[in-house]
Amino acid sequence: MKSFLTITTLIGLVMTIHVNAATAVQNALVRVTSTQQTWSTSQPWDKSRPSSRSALGVFLKNNHILTTAEMAANSTYIELENADSTRTLAAKVIAIDYESNLALLAPTNTDEKSFLSGLQPLELGQSANIGDTVGVWQLEDNGMHLITNAIIQGADIVSSFTSGNYFLTYEAKGSLQSTSSSYSLPVIKDGKLLGMLSSYDSKDQIIDIIAPEIITAFLADTADGNYEGFPSLGISINSTVDPNFRLWLKLSEDGGGLYITKVSKGSSAENAGILKGDVLVSVAGKPIGRRGYYDDDKYGRLYWSHLIRGSHKVGDSLKVTVLRKGEKKELTATLARPVKRLIPAHTIDQAPSYLVKGGFIFQELSTTYLTGFGKDWQSTAPLNLLDALSSPEDYEEGRNKLVFLSATVPTPATTGYERIRNYIIAKVNGQKISDIPALIKAFETPGTDGLHTIEFAEGRPKTIYLDAKASDAIDAELLKRGIPKLSR
Amino acid sequence: MRKLLPILSLTLTTLFALSPAQAQQQPLTPVAPANNGIYSSIVRIEAATQVPDYNEPWKAGRFSGGIGTGFLIGPNKFLTNAHVVSNSRRLLITVHGSPQKHPARILHIAHDCDLALLEVEDFTPFKGLEYLQVGLIPKLESQVRVIGYPVGGNRISVTRGVVSRIDFSTYSHSRSDQHLVVQIDAAINPGNSGGPVLQDGKVVGVAFQGLRSADNTGYMIPTPVVKRFLKDIEDGSYDKYVDLGISEFPMFNPAMRKKFGLERNSPGVLVASVTPDGPCDGVLEDNDILTAINGNAVDAAGNVLIEGEKVNMNEIVERKFSGDEVQLSFTRDGKAMEKSATLKHFAPAQMYSVQYGITPRFTTFAGLVLQPLDRNLYAAHNFKNTRVRRLFAHYIDEAIFKERQDIVILTTILSDPTNTHVNSHAGKAVESINGEKVTSLDQAHALLHPTNAPEFFVIKCEGVERPIVIPGDKAAEASKRTRSNYGISLPSRLK
């Protein structure tokens, strides 16, 4: 109550427009509560215990509600609630982008006029400047809104939800209070939506705001009902700050450039003819510095990846200049989505694929599985799986996904095999295993001796056998014992 | 996983304590009154040690010391644990009830079974003392006495316990060796190490390690291991344990048994892998079924029957010596075969053993410190890099040792203007220098110190695309500067 009064009395008298603007914001705020559930990594047929979190969404045109991907990820049920908690409505996800941390929701039933009629869509605003004051909106339990002013201190490229995905983010200073379980909140400037708060550091009182450019691009992508996602060039880079390194690369003393250490197979970069060892000197006409920054017209020094991910969309072409053995090469890259990885970085909203055979549990490896080994997973997870994660190119041949034997349930068919786990699968019954469907297919044809042959990529022993009839009988038994399905 | 700790009370002594002068000045008189009997033959061993520093290998290391126990088993032959005297710079022996300290030295040391044989410089005062006799393995539930000089006092201590388990277990001194171990319920404490465990007046074991997580649990080295050590050194040198060099996989699974055509009760264990260049390389192959060693039938779990006890088949090899032959009966593709293998110590396996009494090898170059990978280095640096961990784990089974005598690690980067931007390379394995694959520390040293410096030294680490580049004309100066700035007293040690 108090915050609202402060704003209206101080500013409202002078600028009546802002009072109207504040009402407009108030009428667009929706409480979002989502119940989230992930899948168990060790028993992939099970879901883990559900948890729930709540935050705010912003009502936009077409009855859509914008919130963060973090709020909508792994959701089993999303409920919308109006500000004074008098009405609720179930919602579904229209589009979700784990990389930029944005999600668009819609009511599952738009006939619920009573809920929607109280809402007014909020307009999207323009970008902000450094030094601008913006308002972060929260709702108190009693339905009153709470506005916290924050001053934008800078713009940077930040990865917020899924690691390794950097997008334009405003960093603002302000002291927020905690009103609900999550800081997914709208940030307003001049009565319009500037961005979504993605994280808040209470120690330094730094607020991260997903920039309007990113929200605009996200919403534009959702417009045709077919969400594509943000583009990527597909290279790994290293700085060229080291003068010795520059000398060796024959780079000029005053120039910039990034050393390209990897070009992903099938990526935009590979298609454009970029090679490992090239030095990236400009993107879309902007010279790139030795640490990877360029001079942005609006925000000053920004990391080069914004020129790709935040300034273009899939299908756009742009000019890329590289130095190859000291010689300048002008290349054109047609941007595409990042290439699919052998070991996916996350499995959000995806039920893990698996197969249970005679007590063996086979899965497809993901980073999510490895992080399941705890905080120190990089040293406690199995070394062979970590190696596959750090050098996937050694395992890519003939594989879509990396299938491995994640655990062995002791059964009569797996007697003597109890200690076999986390072995990567090479072949089953002579067939190369590219993913779980291929594995399921391979198990359909046991040898003439009635045995399945399982070959590991490495392991002692390299080959083991499983009785086809016995394992089928055990599979039936496992179903009776409560495993709902033998494969997914 | 249980944690075993070597029983050695470590006390930090100063450099001055290393002087042997005070010990030698004392007059030599017979060490003990006759009525002390067997106690006089059980001696206190005082070790002053110098433990090398694997983080800064040019340094002298840490000076410390400890107390252990030993016992007389023959003319000027004192038996004790290897870990009591490892890395020692000075050894002193004292007899129960005597103030005299007698300088001693190591005759033979076996780190793989944690035993050592010492001699004193002058045996005259010990003449007439009783020699302890080495007996047999004590029976389960029988009572034994542990005698030694554990913490809590200076005089001899005696505890009693019951033999509670006889098993194959890890010897924590080397961390990589497994031999027969007898567990007793008498407390074995720091200082007891190397002391005799007695039954009916005979030695039935050497007290050597305890269990951190349990009270009143002590471990002793049983007499077959002691006897093997004493026999091995008869020719004047210790030739170490030998190994079959195979890993076996139990043949319990019915489908597995069917595939290999094994009847319900037919013997044999699966050969899951054969160590390249090991004693069985070229003799056995993967997927052979090993059915007997020297005529002793091997069961599906890999056990053999010796003296009425089922023990792991490696127990047969345990009692053999370098150069001995074993007769292997096996089935390959359904055909029964018979071959012999000559046992030998497998040197590359040293990668996994803690090593003692050696000085660390290393070389430095423009602030970069290069060291060969082994257990000691691993323990000091706790490498996190997946490639390094993988090279370590698969050094033998993937035959990496054949190509690379050393896995050279860039352990440390001492900041210098020439290397400030390559800090993230520390802790990685060196793959190549100037395009040449690095296979040993000597070679890496030679590549980094050529007569004529190249335009650039280009050092590539495994799994890191961006190489370290040091201009040839700046390298010598950078080496000199870092040596003086960081107090590197020795630029390299290759031996």
Each residue of B376-407: pLDDT tens digit?
A: 999 999 999 999 999 999 999 999 999 999 99
What integer is the mean pLDDT of A440-467? Answer: 93
| Alpha-carbon torsion (A358, A363, A369, A373), positive or negative | positive
Instruction: Please check whether residue A179 is in contact with residue A136, taking contact to mean a CB–CB distance below 8 angstroms.
Output: no
pLDDT computed for residue A385 by the predictor: 95
pLDDT computed for residue A2 by the predictor: 39
Burial (CB count within 10 angstroms: exposed 0-12, middle 13-18, buried 19+), residue A97: buried
Please name the CATH architecture into which domain B360-493 falls.
Answer: Alpha-Beta Barrel (3.20)
pLDDT computed for residue B24 by the predictor: 41
Q: Is B361 helix (H, G, I), strand (E, B) or coil?
A: coil
pLDDT computed for residue A116 by the predictor: 81
Taking the C-alpha atoms of residue B188 and residue B194, their distance in angstroms, rounded to an integer, is: 11
Q: What angle do CA B203, B205, B207 make, to 5 degrees?
A: 120
A93 — pLDDT class (breaks 50, 70, 90): very high
The CATH number that applies at residue A190 is: 2.40.10.10
**pLDDT of B17 over the 50 cut:** no
**pLDDT of B283 over the 50 cut:** yes
Each residue of B18-63: pLDDT tens digit?
A: 333 333 444 445 554 444 678 889 999 999 999 999 999 999 999 9
Instruction: Please check whether residue B79 is in contact with residue B73, taking contact to mean a CB–CB distance below 8 angstroms.
Output: yes
Domain boundaries, chain B: 4-126, 143-235, 246-342, 360-493
**Which residues lie below 8 Å from residue A151, measured CB to CB, with a gap of 6+?**
A131, A132, A133, A134, A172, A173, A174
**Together in a domain, A64 and A143:** no
DSSP string, B373-418: --HHHHHHH----HHHHHHHHTTTTTTHHHH-S--EEEEEE---TT
**Together in a domain, A408 and A474:** yes
Q: Check residues B28 and B164 and name the one with the higher pLDDT.
A: B164
Chain A with chain B: Cβ pairs closer than 8 A = 97
Taking the C-alpha atoms of residue B284 and residue A376, their distance in angstroms, rounded to an integer, is: 40
Please name the residue of chain B whose CA is at the shortest distance from the CA of residue A411.
Answer: B253
B169 to chain A, closest Cα gap in Å: 19
Question: What does the block give as tokens for B452?
Answer: 């004529």
Kindly list the distances between the CA atom of residue B52 and the CA atoms of A380, B87, B223, B370, in Å, as whole numbers in the listed order.
29, 8, 32, 16
B188 — pLDDT class (breaks 50, 70, 90): confident
**pLDDT of A180 over the 80 cut:** no
The CATH number that applies at residue A31 is: 2.40.10.120
**Is the N-terminal amide bond of A461 cis, ω within 30° of 0?**
yes
What integer is the mean pLDDT of B289-317? Answer: 90
**Together in a domain, A317 and A247:** yes
Choices 2.60.40.10, 2.40.10.10, 3.40.50.300, 3.30.460.80: CATH for B143-235: 2.40.10.10
Chain A residues in contact with B258 by the CB 8 A cut-off are 449, 451, 465, 467
Report which of A119, A111, A15 is spatially closest to residue A65, judged by C-alpha positions.
A119
**Together in a domain, A35 and A112:** yes
A237 — pLDDT class (breaks 50, 70, 90): very high
Taking the C-alpha atoms of residue B338 and residue B243, their distance in angstroms, rounded to an integer, is: 19
Is A420 domain-assigned?
A: yes
**pLDDT of A187 over the 90 cut:** yes
A202 — pLDDT class (breaks 50, 70, 90): confident
Which of B252, B463, B465 is closest, CB to CB, to A415? B252
pLDDT computed for residue A181 by the predictor: 63
The end-to-end CA distance of chain A, in Å, is 52
What is the 3 state secondary structure string of A160-183? CCCCCCCEEEEEEECCCCCCCCCC
Pick the catalytic residue from B98, B169, B193, B329: B193
Is A339 domain-assigned?
A: no
Q: Quick check: is B83 catalytic?
A: yes
Q: What is the CATH number of domain B4-126?
A: 2.40.10.10
A383:B389 CB<8 A? yes
User: What is the biggest distance separating any 2 CA atoms in chain B, rounded to whole angstroms?
Assistant: 78
**Together in a domain, A360 and A465:** yes
Is A67 domain-assigned?
A: yes
Each residue of B357-379: pLDDT tens digit?
A: 899 999 999 999 999 999 999 99
B296 to chain A, closest Cα gap in Å: 23
* Residue A347: alpha-carbon gap to chain centroid: 9
Report which of B229, B154, B146 is spatially closest to residue B189, judged by C-alpha positions.
B146
Pick the catalytic residue from B112, B114, B288, B299: B114
**Together in a domain, A469 and A366:** yes
A461:B389 CB<8 A? no
Q: Quick check: is B108 catalytic?
A: no
What stretch of H or E contains A208?
Answer: strand A206-210
**Which residues lie below 8 Å from residue A5, measured CB to CB, with a gap of 6+?**
none
What stretch of H or E contains A260?
Answer: strand A258-263
**pLDDT of A10 over the 60 cut:** no
DSSP B170: E
A467:B255 CB<8 A? yes
Please name the residue of chain A whose CA is at the shortest distance from the CA of residue B261.
Answer: A449
Kindly list the distances between the CA atom of residue A126 and the CA atoms of A189, A190, A193, B191, in Å, as whole numbers in the listed order.
9, 10, 8, 77
**Together in a domain, A74 and A13:** yes
Q: Quick check: is B114 catalytic?
A: yes
Is A347 domain-assigned?
A: no
**Together in a domain, A278 and A394:** no
Report which of A114, A137, A168, A163 is spatially closest to residue A66, judged by C-alpha positions.
A137
DSSP A444: T
**Assigned CATH topology for domain B246-342:** Pdz3 Domain (2.30.42)
B360-493 and B246-342 share a CATH fold: no
Which of A261, A378, A413 is closest, CB to CB, to B384? A378
Model ipTM? 0.86
Is A151 domain-assigned?
A: yes
Which of B272, B420, B458 is closest, CB to CB, to A460? B272
Domain interval for residue A440? 354-480
Each residue of A368-403: pLDDT tens digit?
A: 999 989 999 998 999 999 999 998 989 999 999 999
What integer is the mean pLDDT of A141-156? Answer: 90
**Together in a domain, A75 and A187:** no
Based on the structure, what is the number of domains in chain A?
Answer: 4
Please name the residue of chain A whose CA is at the shortest distance from the CA of residue B467.
Answer: A245
